[in-house]
Every structure is written in structure tokens, then in C-alpha cells.
Structure 1
Amino acid sequence: MTRPITVGADGTAESLAAVHWAAREAVRRDLPLRIVHAWEKSDREDGAVDAREALTRIAGEVTARHPDLTVTTDLIDGGPVEALIAAAAEGTTLVLGSRGQGAIVGFLLGSVGQQVIAESTRPVVLVRAGDQPESEAGGREVVVGQQGGPDDSAATLGYAFEAAAARGAALRVVRAWALPTVFTYSPASLALADEAGGLEQYERKALAEVLQPWLERFPDVQVTQQIEMGSAGEVLLSVAARAQLMVVGRRAHRSAVGSRIGSVAHAVVHHAPSPVAVVPPA
């Protein structure tokens, strides 16, 4: 069975933008669309009726725009975190509004949404309320952050290359680097920074080696390789204005205050104006 693109809907402007983004993505990738809403049986009974009616109405809007797209709806019993994670596992990608008032409340504040991002086994795309189809035109790129070696970024790069190919868009691969900590405050640090071309060339070679199999697999995708000194989050955000989609890897871990997704993903999710795909490790 073909896995769908799944989108959470709660009737807010943010979730409706997510629904329409997910519909366009499903059309691009020739996949079905599944629209879901989490509802606990302990809630008032007429709430389920309202939710089903809302899902039917939203699905009708999508079908009117994309008559050839297969659209299904599901009212899922359970809390929002568990329901959305389970729904994500049954699809290829989970799409959510970045600020919801219902099932996905608190994305940018890190409550339900952060748990979903941190624990989902599928990529999670966050879409803001103002997102429009026009933002995907005008030569805007797909931008992806790359760190580490081939195994560290395989899932992230795979998602980014597939997204760029589906859109016919250029792909910008960004690798940030920094001076080794041991040199940061050494007497020779300024001289080393002046001659940093040596270290930058090492990073450039490492990025080229990581990308080689992807370039062979996606020969029609125009790729720009950007190597820049600085923190990964800051470097990625410096090019965010040109992006129609930002793609970052997830470094999820648990702490005393709950699940965390990693500093780079956290920065991009909070500050990038475009939709952001957060990809779990393979």
C-alpha cells in the first residue's frame, strides 16, 4: 500500500496552511493525502461530530483545488502527541501548522509539537499560517544543512534531494564549520584564522565526498555547495530568505525537561520564514 503524506488539522489558520502545503506536496510526489485530527473519547461527545464535519469540509476544499488527489480523513482517538506520532508512522511525512490552538498547540513553545518532532519516526514539516503557493516559485531553493559524514546525514540529504527533484528546484547544501576548540584562544588563533583556507578546504572536500552518491542519483538537481565558518544554525538562517523549504536533521535526546530536538533544528524551526522539514536519523 502506498503510504500517504499525513497532515494534522485543527481548523486554525496554521493547520489549514499546513493542509494546503501537504496537498501540493502530495500532488508533486504522486502520493495520497491523509488529513487527521486527534480527539479523546473523554471529550464532549458532540466534539467528535464537529471534528468529523470539519475534516469533511477541509477535505472538500482540498479536492476542489486538486481533483485528482486521493484524500482521506481520520478522527484519531487519543492524546495529540501519541495520536500524531502514530499517524506519522503510517505515512511518509507528517505536516503540521507551526502554531495550533487544538491538537498541535505550542509548537514554537516546545510542548506537544516538540515531543512529536523529537519522537516521530518520519520527517515532520512545520508550516506557518502565511504560507502561500507563490513562495514556492521565483527560483526559491530547497536549503539543507549537512553535518558530519555520510551516515550522519543520509536521511536528511535524501529528503532534501527528493524534495528538490519533485519541485524542479535548485538545492543549496550548507555545511558550517568552526575552528577546533583547542585553538580558539591560543596565541596563534588569529594567524590560524587568517590561514583558515586549509581547514575550509578540508570541509569542502568532506562535503564533496558526502554529496557524490547523491549527485549521481539525482543528476538533474542543480546543487550549490556552501561551506561557511560559523554556527550551523546561524549559517543556515543567513540563507533562509531564499528558501522555499528548509531541511534539517534531528538530534533528539531526552533530558530532565523533556524531549529536545537539537540546537540547529531548534533555531531553524523558530526563525526560518519558510516551511521547515525536520528529518529523523535513518
Structure 2
Amino acid sequence: MPRHVTAGLDGSAESAAAAEWAAGEARLRQVALRLLLVSDDPAPSRPAAEHGGAGGGRYPGAEFLTGTADALRGGHPGLEVRAERLTGRPAAVLAREAAGADVMVLGSRGLGSVRGFLLGSVATATIVRTRRPVVLVRPGHRPGQGTRGEYGDADDPEAAAAAAAAAGSVVVGVDVRETCDATLDFAFGEAALRGGRLRAVHCWSLPPFGRDALALDMARREMRPDIARALRNVLAPWRQRYPSVEVAEFTPVGGVSDRLLHSAAGAALLVVGRRMRTARAGVRLGPVAHAVIHHCAAPVAVVAHD
């Protein structure tokens, strides 16, 4: 199948927002957009109004699927939009279909009340079943809008600077202790598509000694140059591969999830990695990815890496 961006629909406002974001992504990549409505209804699968108009099929969600496809064709002239309805267990089907897509895009409501299968366990189950990047989108977000009414954290000026600089840019969380080539490749590629602004954030913690303010400040000043150097070394190959991308590096002190959320306030996209791993209860999502997809207002891309 030719290159494409895929968006999963379920009839909710959140999935409509995901479809609109996916249309913009498809245009940036100059590829087709594929809309999928997946349900466990045993009715035969069939195409849904490939070229607009009536006849989209008499099954739940048919009008939403064809209406969304028609609206995106009208709003994005020249974009090829394919609309399909598939049957099966939603997470399994979406993960299977993600394998052939540049990106899979799903709707998200974070920790709000859940309505629609893509807003809860199915979104997470889809993410952990595929190696392809999955982007979760909430309705109403615009780049430049903060998540908490203001940028950053008064206790850490660098975190505040990172958040203020993030407005409209791509933000990527970097762990200098892990190989995260897939995550960085995706983040740099997304930044290049969006005008070349990338904010790389590595969060770290102070050692548990001397909790008085003077000792903490001294430890921070002594350790930060080494942390900054490690981040710079990790990013060096990607700067060479993507010379058009302007990269700003930040090393705030504090919990990873909290600092990433502050740093991504107003961002166009937050990119985080997840290690491919299996727990006794099955494949699971790491704590950082789990936290940001539930609390970040900006679209969040989760990218698997070894």
C-alpha cells in the first residue's frame, strides 16, 4: 500500500479532532489519509463512500465516517482521503493497520470521563501492540496554548524557559542513558516538517544528600555541565542528519513526567519514547508515556524503541 497517515474513528469529538490533525500531518508528509472506523459488529466490512456522497453503508458510524471524510476533502483540497470500516477487536485491528502507516493517530480525552473506545484502554492497548508511532490528540488544542495557565515552574527557571520556548515547536523527551534512535528520528523529522524548531528536554534528579538550599544549589551547578554535555552528545548525530532543524537543549531538574508536561506547554507536539518490554501481565506502557498521554494538552506521539 502507498505511504499514508491513518486515523482511527469511533464517532466521538476526540476522534474527529484526531482525523483533522491526521489530515494536516498527511499534507505535511504529502501522503494520503486513511480513516478507519473499527467495531466488533459482525456485519460484513465494506468501503465507506470512497468518493463522498451517499451509500456509505448501513452500519453504526457510517454517517460519521463518510461525513468526516467529506469534510476533510473539502477542508484540505488535493488531499487523498480513503474511508474504511473494519470489524474485529479495535485495539488488535488498529495495531495491525498501524504497521503499514507512517503514523497512527487516535483521539484522547486524558483523564476526563470516557466516551468512545479510543479514549480509554483501547488507545493504550493499540500503542503497546505496535512499533509504529502513535499520536494521541485532544480536541481544541492550538499550538501556543499552555496546559496550566502559564509556562514553566517558578522553582526552576530553566524549566520555565523551556516551556516558553516550546510554544508552537516540537518537544522531545530524551533519556541520555538509553538508545532512543527511533524517538529522535521521529522528533527531528516532525520538527523539519513544521519549520525546523525542536526542543530537546532531558530531566534529571539531584542525589539524596544535603537537602538544604545551599547544598542543592551547589550540586545542581556542579552536575549540570556533565548532564548538558551528555545531552549534546546524544543529539549530535541527529543535528548532522537534520541540518535545517534548530535545536534548543534543556536539562531541568525534577520528575521526568512533571517536567515534560511543563516543557510541552503550548507545543505543537510532544514526542516521548517507550521501551519495547513485556511484563508478567503482558506488554505494558512505561510510567512516563502513561503520565503524559493522560495529562498533556498538546498532541503526544509515543514512539517505540528497543
The normalised TM-score by structure 1 is 0.86
- The residue number in structure 1 matching 2:199 is 172
Among 137, 146, 153, the alignment partner of 2:174 is 146
CA distance in structure 1 between the aligned counterparts of 2:190 and 2:272, rounded to whole angstroms: 13
1:64 pairs with 2:74: yes
RMSD (Å) for aligned C-alpha atoms: 2.8
Structure 2 gaps of 5+ residues are 46-55, 146-165
Could you tell me whether the CA contact under 8 Å between 1:17 and 1:131 is conserved in 2?
no
Look up the equivalent residue of 1:171 and give its one-letter code. L
Could you tell me whether the CA contact under 8 Å between 1:7 and 1:19 is conserved in 2?
yes
Among 216, 229, 233, the alignment partner of 1:205 is 229
3-state SS in 2 of match to 1:243? coil
1:8 pairs with 2:8: yes
CA distance in structure 2 between the aligned counterparts of 1:101 and 1:259, rounded to whole angstroms: 24
CA distance in structure 1 between the aligned counterparts of 2:141 and 2:212, rounded to whole angstroms: 48
Among 230, 246, 251, the alignment partner of 1:222 is 246
Shift of 1:48: 5.6
Q: Note the 1:28-107 alignment, pairs <5 A.
A: 28-42=28-42, 49-99=59-109, 101-106=115-120
Q: Write the deviation string for residues 201-254 of structure 1: whole angstroms up to 9, x where unpaired.
A: 111111111111111122221111001221211111122213111110113544
Shift of 1:14: 0.3
Shift of 1:189: 11
Look up the equivalent residue of 1:209 and give its one-letter code. N
- The residue number in structure 2 matching 1:162 is 189
Look up the equivalent residue of 2:253 and give its one-letter code. M
Shift of 1:18: 0.4
More helix by share: 1
Shift of 1:158: 0.9
Alignment coverage as a number of residue pairs = 272
Could you tell me whether the CA contact under 8 Å between 1:177 and 1:232 is conserved in 2?
yes
Could you tell me whether the CA contact under 8 Å between 2:257 and 2:288 is conserved in 1?
yes
Look up the equivalent residue of 1:224 and give its one-letter code. A
